[in-house]
Structure 1
Amino acid sequence: MTDDPDRRRDLAHVGPVELYTPVLEKSRDFFVNQMGLREVHRDATSVYLHTWDDYQSWTLRLIQRDTAGVGRTYLRAASPQALDRLKDAAKAAGLHRGVVTDARDLGEVHLIADPDGHELGLYWDVDWYAADDTDRPALKNQAAAYPGRGANLRRLDHVNYLTADVPRTAAFLRDTLGARCTEQIVKDDGSPQAIWYSLGNKSYDLVYTEDWTGTRGRLHHLAFATDTREEILRAADVCLDAGVHIETGPHKHAIQQTFFLYVWEPGGNRIELCNAGARLILAPDWKTISWTREERAKGQAWGLKTIESFHTHGTPVVPIQNG
C-alpha cells in the first residue's frame, strides 16, 4: 500500500480527548500527581487537564461515568476550508451527526462517527493556553513551564481504539479523513487486524485494533508523550510508589519503534507513556509496512512477549461469557 503524495492533508493533529472514569477524583489525582498534568477547569461532572506543552487550553477532560471508556476525540482541521471539506466528506459518507458550539474553548464543532460508533469532533477555532504566574515559562515558544512532577507528560500523542471491523474503519480513515496508513498487522489471508494511521508527519495518530469481543466503541489505550526515555523509566518508579498498576514495560515496540510503558489509571483505562522522539514519516510516498503473525510471534523489539491482558483488556470492560 503506497500513499498518494498528491492527496491534500485536511487534518492537522489529534486535539483534546474525553475519558470516562467511575472514580473521577482518583483519576484526576493520578493524572496530576503521577503524570504531571495541570487542572485548569472543572464542572459538576468533569475535570479539564492540560499537558505542559499543549498550545491548546486543555488536553484531557475526565468525565464521571459508571464505566470507564473513551468519550469524544477532537480532531483539528488544517484550515477553515479544510474543515468544510471534511464536513462535506462526512456528510457524503452518512457519518455527520450535527454541529455543537458548547465544547469548552473550541468554536463550531462538527460531530462525526467512525464505523464503530466512536464520536469524533472536527474543529478549527480554538483558544490557546494562557499561562499565569504559577506556570509561565521562561521560553515564550513553550506553552507552560516544565512541571518537574511525576512523568512530566508533554503532550497527547495518539489514541488507540478497539473496533469490530478493521477493514471498514481503514476505509473511513483513508477516504473520509484523508489519513495515511503507515503500518499494519495482517492476518494469514492478508486482511488487516490492526492499523496505524498518520494525520501529518508523525508516524501515527489514530490506531485501531480488532476487538476480540466483537463489541463496538471501546478504547484500547490513550497515549501521552514524554521528552525522553529516562522520564518513562522514572515514571515506572513513580507509579510503583503510588500503587498504580503497571501492565507492561518499560520496553520498545517493534511496530513504530516506540519506547513504552503501559499502566492502568484508577478508573481502569489503559494509559501509555511513550517517548516524544518517535519516528517521523517524511517520505511523501511512504509504503505501508505490514507485519505477519509469524513476525509478531517474535515479541516486541527486544524480545519481550506481549502479555495476555494487552490483547483482552479494553474499556468499558466486557464480561467474558463462559461456555
Structure 2
Amino acid sequence: MAPRPAYDPGPTISHAGGVNIGTPDLEKSLWFFRDIFGMEVTAEDDGAAYLRGYQEHVHHSLVLTRQDEAKVNTMSLRVSRPQDVELFHDQFVEDGIDVRHVTAGAEVGRGEAIRFLLPGGEHPIELFYDIERPTAPEGIRSKLHGNSSRRRGLGVQRIDHLNVQAAPEMMAEAEGWLRSALGMKRREAMVLPGNPDVPMVSWLSVNSKMHDIAIGASMNGKNSQFHHVAFSLENLHDVLTAVDKLRDLDIQIDAGPGKHGIGQAMYLYVRDPGSNYRVELYSGGYPFVDPDHPTQVWEQQDFGYGMTWYGDFPDVDPDSSTYLETMDVAGLDVDAPSDSVITA
C-alpha cells in the first residue's frame, strides 16, 4: 500500500504567548509581579524586565517596559511550527494587512516575530515561535521536573489568556477574523436577542483551554481596548489566599473573588500598582476535549449566572465601576498612539 501524502494544515496558533506592559513605575510593577506574585525574572535589559511563572519553561510570558505612558505594547501568540511565522506573514500580506517584521532579540530570549493590528479591533498582536528555555538559577530551582523554578509568592504558574475589547460596530469583524484567519474556536459566547451571530463577548481558544483570548464589545464605545491579562494559580484556595494577602497590601481589587459560570473558573481581578493595568488571577475551569464540542451560548436572561456563579457580582455601574474600565494599547509601531494606524 502506497504511503499517504503528508497532510499540512497550514499555519496554526498554539497558545497565548505573552504580554508587554508599559509601566511608568517599573520598580513597583516588578515588586508586584516578582515579589508578590512570585514570578521569576529571567532577564533585565535597557529598562525592561522579563518574567515567567514557576511552570513556564520558556524565557518569559510577561515583559515590563519602563515608559512614561502606561499601555499594552504587545499581546503575543505562539505559533505551532517555526515556518508558521512566515506563512502567516504571507497570508496577511495577501489579505492586505500591514505587517511588520520584529527582529530576533527585540524581546530578549525570543526569536523573529511578525506584528500587525487585529483587523477590526486594532489591537497590536505579535506571532512568534522561537524562544529560549533558560534553566532557573540553582537557588530557586525545583526538584519537580515539570516546574521551571520553585513555587514562590502567590504561586503564579503561567499566563492563561488575554482579554480585549472592540467598539460594538467592530466586534463582528474582529471576532470573525480571529476565527477565520487564526483558526480559533468560539468556546462560549454572550448574545443579545435578535443578533445571535454577533456576540457581545466571545471566548476563543485553539486548544483545550476555555480561551487564549476573549473579545467583547466595549461599553464606552472605544476601539482597541485592553481589559486584562490572566495568570493561572493551581487551585481555588490559592485565589482566596491571594485576595487575603493583596487586601493587606492595599492592592486595588476590581472584582472577586468569585466563580464564573462561563468557563467555571475562580477569578480575582486586581491592578498592578506600577501601571494600573488589570490582572486576573484565574484557577480551575473545564477543558474542551471533544473536537465537535458546540459553542455554549449565554442569552440575556442568564448573563448574571455567566458572569458570577457565586461570589459578589462585579460592580457594572458606569459611574462607579472600576471593573468596566478599559486600558489603552499601542499602535502598529510601538511608539505610535493606538488610534494612529488602521489596518486592512
Give the TM-score normalised by the residue count of structure 1: 0.89
In structure 2, give the amino acid aligned to 1:87.
Answer: H
The 8 Å contact of residues 67 and 316 in structure 1, kept in 2 or not, is answered as: no
> For 2:251, which of 244, 250, 254 is the aligned residue?
244
Shift in Å, 1:311: 5.5
> For 2:108, which of 84, 96, 104 is the aligned residue?
104
Shift in Å, 1:64: 2.4
* Superimposed CA distance per residue, residues 34-55 of structure 1 (whole angstroms, 9 cap, x where no aligned partner): 2111222223332222211111
* Superimposed CA distance per residue, residues 214-266 of structure 1 (whole angstroms, 9 cap, x where no aligned partner): 22222101100000111111101110111101122111001111111111111
1:161 and 1:284 map into 2 onto residues whose CA distance is 26
Shift in Å, 1:206: 0.4
2:45 and 2:173 map into 1 onto residues whose CA distance is 37
1:303 and 1:251 map into 2 onto residues whose CA distance is 4
Q: Please name the residue that 1:305 is paired with.
A: 313
Q: Please name the residue that 1:270 is paired with.
A: 278
Deviates more, 1:29-38 or 1:292-301: 292-301
Name the CA shift for 1:46/1:221 in 2 (closer, same or farther; >3 Å).
Answer: same
> For 2:293, which of 273, 286, 289 is the aligned residue?
286
1:45 and 1:154 map into 2 onto residues whose CA distance is 25
SS of corresponding position for 1:58: coil
Name the CA shift for 1:181/1:212 in 2 (closer, same or farther; >3 Å).
Answer: same
Q: Please name the residue that 1:11 is paired with.
A: 13
The 8 Å contact of residues 259 and 311 in structure 2, kept in 1 or not, is answered as: no
The 8 Å contact of residues 248 and 263 in structure 1, kept in 2 or not, is answered as: yes
Q: Please name the residue that 2:194 is paired with.
A: 189
The 8 Å contact of residues 118 and 125 in structure 2, kept in 1 or not, is answered as: yes
> For 1:316, which of 311, 314, 328 is the aligned residue?
328
Q: Please name the residue that 2:117 is paired with.
A: 113
Name the CA shift for 1:311/1:265 in 2 (closer, same or farther; >3 Å).
Answer: closer
> For 2:163, which of 119, 139, 160 is the aligned residue?
160
SS of corresponding position for 1:159: strand
Deviates more, 1:237-246 or 1:87-96: 87-96
Name the CA shift for 1:303/1:124 in 2 (closer, same or farther; >3 Å).
Answer: closer
Quote the RMSD (CA, aligned, Å).
2.0
Q: Please name the residue that 1:138 is paired with.
A: 143
1:316 and 1:71 map into 2 onto residues whose CA distance is 9
1:171 and 1:88 map into 2 onto residues whose CA distance is 20
In structure 2, give the amino acid aligned to 1:269.
Answer: Y
Structure 1 runs not aligned, ≥5 long? 1-5, 318-323
The 8 Å contact of residues 203 and 279 in structure 1, kept in 2 or not, is answered as: yes
1:8 and 1:282 map into 2 onto residues whose CA distance is 22
Shift in Å, 1:14: 1.0
User: Residues 39-58 of structure 1 correspond to what in structure 2 (within 5 A)?
Assistant: 39-58=41-60
SS of corresponding position for 2:257: strand
Name the CA shift for 1:193/1:118 in 2 (closer, same or farther; >3 Å).
Answer: same
> For 1:224, which of 231, 237, 249 is the aligned residue?
231
* Superimposed CA distance per residue, residues 135-188 of structure 1 (whole angstroms, 9 cap, x where no aligned partner): 2111223222222x2x11000000001111211111110111111110111122
Q: Please name the residue that 1:95 is paired with.
A: 97
In structure 2, give the amino acid aligned to 1:239.
Answer: L
Q: Please name the residue that 2:267 is paired with.
A: 260
Q: Please name the residue that 1:321 is paired with.
A: none
Structure 2 runs not aligned, ≥5 long? 1-7, 330-344
1:194 and 1:310 map into 2 onto residues whose CA distance is 19
Matched, 1:208 2:215: yes
Give the fraction of aligned pairs with identical amino acids, expressed as a percent. Answer: 28
Shift in Å, 1:303: 6.5
In structure 2, give the amino acid aligned to 1:251.
Answer: G
